[in-house]
Amino acid sequence: MDEGADKTAVLSESVNVPSLDIDIDETERLIRRRRLIRWISRALVLIGAALFLALLHASAPEWLTLESAIWTVGALLVGLLAADFRFVRTSEPETVTEVVSHDLARLEQCFAILQKQVTVTIRTSETAVLETVSRLHRVHQRSAELHQNIMDAVSRSRHLSEASQHEADGNRATVATLASSQEAFVQARKENQERIRKVVEQVRHLTPLASLIGEISRQTNLLSINASIEAARAGAEGAGFKVVAAEVRRLSSQTAEAANQIRAGILAVAETIEGELAQASELDADGGAASQLTEVATHIAQISASLNEVVPYLVELSTNMNEGMEVITTDIIDAMGHMQFQDINRQLLEQVESALGSLSEHSAQLYALVGGNAPPPPEALEHLMERWVEGYVMEEQRIAHESIRSLGTQRHRKGQGQATDNGDVIENRPTVKPDDIQLAEPQVPKIELF
Amino acid sequence: MKSVFLVDDSSTMLMSLKSTLEISGFKVDTASDGEQALGKLQAGLKPDLIITDINMPKMDGLLLIKEARKILRFTPILALTTESQATKRDEAKKLGASGWLVKPVTGSDLVRVVKQVLPGA
């Protein structure tokens, strides 16, 4: 009794239903006792009958032979045994009552078990959905962080590329300007060199003049010598002339010296200038700064061209990342929306749970009725079923209920059923298959704004 | 940032809807039944949109819509429910609901409807 009560209390507490009213162990003991009493009473009947027949045979053997007595007792035994088999037993209220009582006692426990299973199903699915939604949220957060990091990197790269490209363009222009200036400078220098060559040439052209001056000086010197000779011939009258001749000789000597110096100076200047021109020509021969600048400008142009390719690539990458993130976000929120199935199932299962509870209560009331300890249940099962409809929250529930109920309330008429050997009629109840139940079409649109 | 007030007795519904709307850029408050929701509104909560279930313990969604309309006359109120009966929908509309959504609604559809009801979101 205590163990049964403990089991009942634990089960009731876990499913939040009224405690079971039926003590199953006591019921089973009662049934076993009744069965024992029945067997004992039948054994007593059999023994009594055997004793009576034995006495009758002893007192009047001519009426009842021993063989007949034995056969009679045997027939009585077979009859008592046959009465316990189901296909002969017709309506023995005591046996039917025992079976119904036994099953009703178990029925309440069955309903409680099913209620518990439904509750476990609801809780399990709820836990799974909460975990799934939480994971989806975390996935989206991490995706968003990655997306932001990548977009920041792309943005920085793009800015750097654009800045580098701008700087490269600026440098290229500067280098081009430098190269242009350098070329102009080189050209100007060449022109200067050319002019200087011409000047040198013109200076060299002065060399014959120096020679002429020297010749003139030599001739003048000869004249002065001649004049001195003539002055000497002239004697005293030629003294003044001798002085002039000496002075002329002196001037011609100086002129010759000047002519030599001029010639030497012209040659030195020409050689010096030609030497400088030669050096300058050597510098131009090995390429110079202009060509190097041109090479630098070419490299800068190549860099700029590469940067021109990078920026559009980064723009395309940025666009793809944004589109990808939008797709991820849409998929995640749609997946979260699908989790609503759990709420729908929960509501369906809660209705089943409630119905099982009312059936459990009803079966306890039936058990009490069969035991003769209580009046009939206050509410018939048909009315109980109608009450379930009031709690439905979906049209599918109402349609399913009505489709089964309408099949089950068909009245059976005589002749429609299958007759048994003893004349009873077993009604032909149509079996209901799951495919027979049509799902309801919604009465309202899925989304409607007023 | 626009704010949305969710009312539903199902913890999974609250969590999935809250996550969906927060990902989409909304601020979200929640309540697990009509009574709790009304208490928050009376305490001063002023959301830009209310989304409520209909079948809830303590106070159902229809009564919440009726009472909430007394406090917030112009705030849109959407019903998000498993109920697909026309009579319930008509009753909600009469009490002041702005729309009727039948579960399950995809996340994309929900966000689209919310943005439609909240211009500028």
Q: What is the pLDDT of residues A183-196, one digit of tens each?
A: 888 888 888 888 88
**pLDDT at residue A307 tops 90:** no
Q: Tell me the angle at which helices A288-338 and B107-117 cross, rounded to the nearest 10 degrees.
A: 100
Residue range A197-205: mean pLDDT, rounded: 83
Report the percentage of chain A scoring pLDDT > 70. Answer: 80
Query: Mean pLDDT in chain A?
Result: 77
A203-229 per-position pLDDT tens digit: 888 888 888 888 888 888 888 888 888
ipTM of the prediction: 0.86
CB contact under 8 A, A343 and B99: no
A12-44 per-position pLDDT tens digit: 333 344 445 566 667 667 767 877 888 888 889
Candidates A338, A390, A393: best to mutate against B (most CBs of B within 10 A) is A393
- Higher-confidence position of A424 and B54: B54
Report the percentage of chain B scoring pLDDT > 70. Answer: 99
Residues of B in contact with A136 (CB under 8 A): 19
Residue A392 to chain B, least CA–CA distance (Å): 9
Confidence of residue B90 (pLDDT cuts 50, 70, 90): very high
A74-92 per-position pLDDT tens digit: 898 888 887 766 544 444 5
Of A126, A133, A344, the CB nearest to B82: A344
* Inter-chain contacts counted by CB atoms under 8 A, chains A and B: 122
Of A137, A346, A447, the CB nearest to B101: A447
Residues of B in contact with A336 (CB under 8 A): 16-17, 19-20, 107
Residue A314 to chain B, least CA–CA distance (Å): 26
Long-range contacts of A95-103 (CB under 8 A, 24+ apart): A97/A370, A98/A31, A98/A34, A98/A35, A100/A370, A101/A27, A101/A31, A101/A367, A101/A370, A101/A371, A102/A27, A102/A28, A102/A31
Query: Would an 8 Å CB–CB cutoff place B84 in contact with chain A?
Result: yes
A447-449 vs B99-102, strand pairing mode:
antiparallel
Confidence of residue A9 (pLDDT cuts 50, 70, 90): very low
Of B8, B17, B55, the CB nearest to A393: B55
Supply the pLDDT for residue B110: 93
A99-111 per-position pLDDT tens digit: 777 777 777 777 8
Query: Mean pLDDT in chain B?
Result: 92
CB contact under 8 A, B16 and A140: no
Confidence of residue B80 (pLDDT cuts 50, 70, 90): very high
Supply the pLDDT for residue A95: 66
Residue A123 to chain B, least CA–CA distance (Å): 11
| 3-state helix/strand/coil string of chain A | CHHHHHHHHHHHHHHCCCCCCCCHHHHHHHHHHHHHHHHHHHHHHHHHHHHHHHHHHHHCCCCCCHHHHHHHHHHHHHHHHHCCCCCCCCCCHHHHHHHHHHHHHHHHHHHHHHHHHHHHHHHHHHHHHHHHHHHHHHHHHHHHHHHHHHHHHHHHHHHHHHHHHHHHHHHHHHHHHHHHHHHHHHHHHHHHHHHHHHHHHHHHHCHHHHHHHHHHHHHHHHHHHHHHHHHHHHCCCCHHHHHHHHHHHHHHHHHHHHHHHHHHHHHHHHHHHHHHHHHHHHHHHCCHHHHHHHHHHHHHHHHHHHHHHHHHHHHHHHHHHHHHHHHHHHHHHHHHHHCHHHHHHHHHHHHHHHHHHHHHHHHHHHHHHHCCCCCCCCCCHHHHHHHHHHHCCCHHHHHHHHHHHHHHCCCCCCCCCEECCCCCEECCCCCCCHHHCCCCCCCCCCEEEC
Candidates A124, A336, A396, A439: best to mutate against B (most CBs of B within 10 A) is A336
| 3-state helix/strand/coil string of B21-73 | HHHCCCEEEEECCHHHHHHHHHCCCCCCEEEECCCCCCCCHHHHHHHHHHHCC
Q: Which region among A289-293, A297-301, B92-96, B98-102 has the lowest average model confidence (pLDDT)? A: A289-293
| A144 vs A133: CA distance, rounded Å | 16
CB-facing half-sphere around the CA of A407: CA atoms within 13 A: 13
Supply the pLDDT for residue A13: 37
Residues of A in contact with B6 (CB under 8 A): none
Q: Is the pTM of this model over 0.90?
A: no
Q: Which residue of A has its CA nearest to B82?
A: A394
CB contact under 8 A, B93 and A440: no
Residue A142 to chain B, least CA–CA distance (Å): 12
Ramachandran class of A113: left when φ > 0, alpha when ψ lies in -120 to 50, beta otherwise: alpha
Of B19, B103, B116, the CB nearest to A340: B103
Residue B96 to chain A, least CA–CA distance (Å): 9
**pLDDT at residue A411 tops 50:** no
Query: Would an 8 Å CB–CB cutoff place B25 in contact with chain A?
Result: no
- Mean pLDDT comparison of A241-245, A397-401, B37-41, B106-110, highest-scoring range: B37-41
Supply the pLDDT for residue A88: 43
**pLDDT at residue A421 tops 60:** no
Query: Would an 8 Å CB–CB cutoff place B23 in contact with chain A?
Result: yes
Residues of B in contact with A129 (CB under 8 A): 12, 16
Q: Which residue of B has its CA nearest to A327?
A: B108
